Amino acid sequence: MTLPEHAICSVMLAQFGVRQRFGWRGVAVVAVAGIAPDGDTAAKLVGDEHFWTLHHALGHNVIALVLLAGGIAGLGRWLCGLRPFGVLFLWCLAAAILHALTDCLYWFAVKPLWPLDGPAVKWEILEYLDLFVLAIWLGGVLCLLKFPHRATVVAATTLGFFAAYVALRAVLPEPTGFWKFLTGGWMYDVPAGTPGFEWW
């Protein structure tokens, strides 16, 4: 998923206990934990070959997820006074793990045991920049802003729609034609040299 989609997914997760216990500052901390694994995209700064080797490995392995969650929960306690640390850490860890699991839905492999030579997990159910996935997350955010008093119901509905869409895509044949375009095929039609898509 994209970074904003990971952030929204983590915000939705945080509606099941974090917001109630820690308030919106706690939600923000969990959202940071939910996007933190993508810090390994910094490998692109030293070259494309390092990006494709280290992205979804360096920040997405089990040890990195635990360290990122611990560090971010520690910052949440230090900067925002959020306590107890253990509860906040578990929520941050859940958001980081959810990040890695949702990345497994795509065609780029996640390496959970890196740097060991372990399995590379990719389920290839969704395409990157799927417009239906984007619509689910954006719809969830809009509903969360409009109905903050029903945040838990909004989050459950949004995550339920996402899970149902993933299940549907897993059992249906590969989309073709216009449906392929909407489910991510549009990005392959972007003209060469389009700003923001040079990496693609």
pTM of the model: 0.91
Cis check: omega of the bond before 173, within 30 degrees of 0? no
Average of per-residue pLDDT values in the chain: 93
Could you tell me the two tokens for 127?
């395409």
Q: Summarize pLDDT for 42-75 with one digit per residue, the tens.
A: 887 777 777 778 888 989 999 999 999 999 999 9
Q: Which helix (H) or strand (E) holds 48?
A: helix 48-54
Alpha-carbon distance of 19 to 104, in angstroms, equals 27
Q: Summarize pLDDT for 144-179 with one digit per residue, the tens.
A: 999 999 999 999 999 999 999 999 999 999 999 999
Could you tell me the two tokens for 4?
């904003």
